[in-house]
A and B are shown apart, each in its own frame.
Chain A
Amino acid sequence: MLEAFSNFGISWLDPWLLLLTASGTLAGIYVGAIPGLSVTMATSILISFTFKWPVNDALALIAGVFMGGVYGGSRTAILLNIPGAPSAIATAIDGYPMARRGEAGEAIGLTTVMSVFGGFIGIAALAMFAPVISSFALMFNSRDYLLLGLIGILLVGTLSGESFAKGAFAGALGVLIGMVGLDPMTAEGRFTFGSISLMGGIPYIAAMIGFFGVAEALVQLQTLDVPAIKQKIDRVIPRLSDIKRYFWLAVRASGIGTIIGALPGTGGDIAALLAYDDARRSVKEPEVPFGEGAKEGLVAPEAANNAAVGGAFIPMLTLGIPGDAVTAVIIGALFIHGLKPGPLMLVETPHLFWFTVGNLALANIFLLIFGLTGTRLFTKIVECPKAILIPLIIVLSAVGTYAIENNPVHIYWMLLFGVLGYFLKTYGFQVGPIILGVILGPMMDSNYRRAMIGARGDIGEFFWNFVSHPISLILSIAFVLMIVSQTPLWPWLRKSIRKQN
């Protein structure tokens, strides 16, 4: 216990780590807030710079950027009606009408306090439940990991995309990209076409930066001429009466956020929308109707999306399954530092777990400080024209990709994925499942083969194992239900059940 506590406090006492967490949080707020820059983009570029750093330094910076970025999106949602990040979509619904009434400062203040509150609940859940889940996860078999990977990719694909088929395609494409190179089990080449450079595989950092950085910059070109709207900000510190009034709503929203964040494949965006929906149903008489600037409509999604940060770390650290695109990128960072997120991580490197918990808590405190100060400077920066931002994103993406192995070929990969990502996004495909597929693909492949070897190559026994063990059965049912719910069979089933009732 004492050891856990001392690891928790590492970044609180070390001035360098303190500085890194603070600058990460500050940078995250701006990155999250500036439309066109996303937390995933920033994290993937950041990883390429920090991979030579000591792991604690890198994690401190990344935790700050993640925490700040999830919150930062709310700023532009309130001020410009443009959610800076997907997790702030629900915030814009009531935040922007408040800003139009001249209450932008109040909206930002309330959002900040509730985000920090939600953040702490998520972190507390991480500290309490991750060790329990981790010891439970030690009982997981290779087929269970295969199922978890499949569920994760499909969830990201189905919840955020235009159609299930497009999500499934994106996930499978990611898996295929992850398969390129020498097979780790037999050293046989897969999709290498005799090229030596392909034998090492496609660099996933180049894929990440291409899909999230370059592709996004190209998409932003379409809205280059949309002018920025200016807002005046006055009182930022929220009223104590407001905090008291919305306390229980924030507790409930944080609970929703933590649970949704902890489910593989669902992140802050879904958590915020669900919490918003819950608030709309449960708050019977809001002061102002929802959609017209109700404070409840700000409190619920903001508490939920920051609570989802702590929640998303639970499956990431205990099962090695990312909660969403950002945690997929962070898993990539952990791999680069030679760490293997999964049930053994808490057994082998418990200090790292408690360090992460402490770090997230610290980032949350910085969030409160930076969230309530410097709003005037902030409005100036977010008004930065896209004509300046887009070339800068491309330069940063190029530096980030090159920095990993100093290999110019990687930047060509980045450009290729950037162009492909642009077309995919234009035609309604999501790029998040691709990155999940790239990262989880090799893990799923090796677990599939282990499970198949365990069944002595007998396909009947292989499938029987999925239903004859309790954990595998639950996961299999979840997987099948997920697929069935996306087919026309689902509405038909629901209709016939309703008819019978």
Chain B
Amino acid sequence: MTNNLKISYKNKSALKNLDYFSQNILLLSDMFEKYFKQNIVCHFQIQACEGFEFEIGNNFIATNILPSQYQNIYSSENNSIILRFFCNTSKRLSTKNINNFYTLLKKSANSPLFFVTPYENSHKEESSYVIDSKFEVRLHISHDGLDLNIFNYNEKKDFINSLFQQILSIFNNKSINNYNIYHENVNLSLPENKQKNNSFLDKEIIETIEKAKDFMNKGDCYLANLTSTIPLNEKTYFISMTHFITAWLKIKSRYGIYYHDMKVGLSCFSPERFIYSHDNKMTTEPIKGTLKSNSNIPTLSDAKAIWADKKEIYEHTLVVDLMRNDLNLVCQAGSVHVYRPFYARIAGKLIQMQSSILGTLKMDKTLGDCLEAMLPAGSISGTPKKRVCEIISQLENVKRGYYTGICGILEENGDFDSTILIRSVYKGERGVYCGVGAGITTLSNAKSEYEEFLIKLNSFLHAIESPV
């Protein structure tokens, strides 16, 4: 690897440097889009994890100190931002047979693989797909500056060298701050009848929530995530990569993931990691509980407000036990630990309650094995999962499609990361759509659940609608 570019620029934080380099990133994106058209995947991640630690006391078997055997799990992560552009991609697999998808992800790969799979009730409607690439342009942004590397998996050297020269010219251009990227003017809004606050909260939703509560009173389940997908006004239009990146630079969601071809598309602003593995140590970081701060940056009093909400704590407790159970399916007995439970993570103006559950993979367990054992993800289904999935299928009148599925990257060495597909726009068999949902428990109030729907929806949709 010889193509390396380093730009030192000290700033208060990696996020500030993301702003500082944003024009370069957009120019890069614009260039890549012209070169690779639909043969490119963006996978961005903000690794900084800021927020407030919950005081565990003697109330939970958990720790706020990373257990010693897991010291290395986050070692490749720090307070930086990683932007990965997988270029000259090709589809390795596109299938409605989920077993073929798992089988492929049980094997090792020669280059990182990008994978996407819908929620389980939609396996027969939407395809699971796996994409490989000929090379990768990886940007690493920290408070110190930017580091760009090209990883060649199977591309002609000459091409990479010439591309690198063009990349250099983008970063050497001092006057870029005045450069205006072309933007499509597009209105990706919800259909009008869904826009007004209370029309969305129609009788149907209240009835569905009440039905779910009936199941819970009878002991059939304790927590059910009920969702709905909504077709977008422009059924065939899918935003361009540069448009997506412009929106992401504004939203700065933990993950920013984009792919688009003739058949499928994904523009993902998800805050939630599903499973991550490094050196056979793994973690899952479920989110349950969202609160919108009245201040620009959430404060400790916002964190205290969410911890004081018993419904949120109970619901989150259920999800942590559920994810411990699911990790125990693929991890060595006794290795599963709860780390930083009920952490009030700052995500823009929102507080997201998040816990980490750590475990050591059993011998020879691969990404494919983990997905096969652990999907659908606990935080978007409920408990007990098997029964609750039957209830979800019965109560939800629209299939979820890609919404609440997962996507991620499998590295050549077997490490992986994955993201829950929420707060995203999808393109699939039914056109372009998005989804929203909320966890329903016996304590749920239809109106406040509905408000949570809206907070989540607004957290990304507005930014896509007006990117500039």
A joins B in a complex: no
